[in-house]
Structure 1
């Protein structure tokens, strides 16, 4: 020891490793909060609902199938019909339910005009829901 001098020890080196303990603590707290609040998110209200005839689930949507063969022949629900019979059949289907869907199956060689005529007959009968049926590739 020299006169007026204090011996200095080397300062501790900084720790360069990442301390993951606080991260794990925070994550565990979040998991506990999630475990506690998850049952509260589900509805725990138990009701004894009344029963009624009108509360039945709706039936599957009704549809009629209209087919157009390559030669231009018309089919209603796979039965050959004329243009007048098609219009009458579509009107009957619309009379049963306005939500009836027309599933149009036309050959790829059918002229576009024929398809438009069938669509017009369906709309004239009051059926506005028209679906085009196609084969998957």
Structure 2
């Protein structure tokens, strides 16, 4: 009879059931840990805090429409202005609180130099919010 280390005549040593003892031990340890930590998390200091009410201030900044026509004429809210008047109005608008937004409308045929001059005057005058107004193309 051949002797093999992997085969034995007695196969009744195999256990086909799961050993539940380690699982129960782990669960009991977790239960004890949670029982100890939950009262610590519920402990809070009672403080009488002051109450304050605040309302959101919904002030939208003013909007200034500056238009540049094809010949280079500058319009401030529809009124024609020269370069000195433009600089004075920009300086006055920059001091307002909240600072107004400058909406720049430029004709398609206007020279870029005119647009750059108005933008430079706005920056030198202290206006920080400049928007370009365009007309969307129809599709």
Per the TM superposition, whether the score is higher than 0.5 is yes
Alpha carbons of structure 1 residues 77 and 124: separation in structure 2 relative to 1, 3 Å:
same
Aligned residues: 87
Shift of 1:63: 1.8
Give how far 1:120 is off: 0.4
User: Separation in 2 of the partners of 1:133 and 1:118?
Assistant: 14
3-state SS of paired residue (2:58): coil
Moved over 3 A (4+): 49-52
**Structure 1 residue 98: deviation in Å?**
5.9
Which aligned pairs between 1:1-137 and structure 2 lie closer than 5 A?
A: 50-51=52-53, 55-97=55-97, 99-137=99-137
Q: Which runs of 5+ in 2 are unaligned?
A: 1-50
CA contact (8 A) 2:61 2:100 kept: yes
- Secondary structure at 2:131 match in 1: strand
Query: Higher Cα Rg: structure 1 or 2?
Result: 2
Superposed CA RMSD in Å reads 1.7
Tell me, what secondary structure is at the counterpart of 1:96?
coil
> How many Å separate the matches in 1 of 2:108 and 2:63?
22
Residues 91, 126 of structure 2: 8 Å contact kept: yes
Alpha-carbon distance in structure 1 between the residues aligned to 2:114 and 2:98: 24
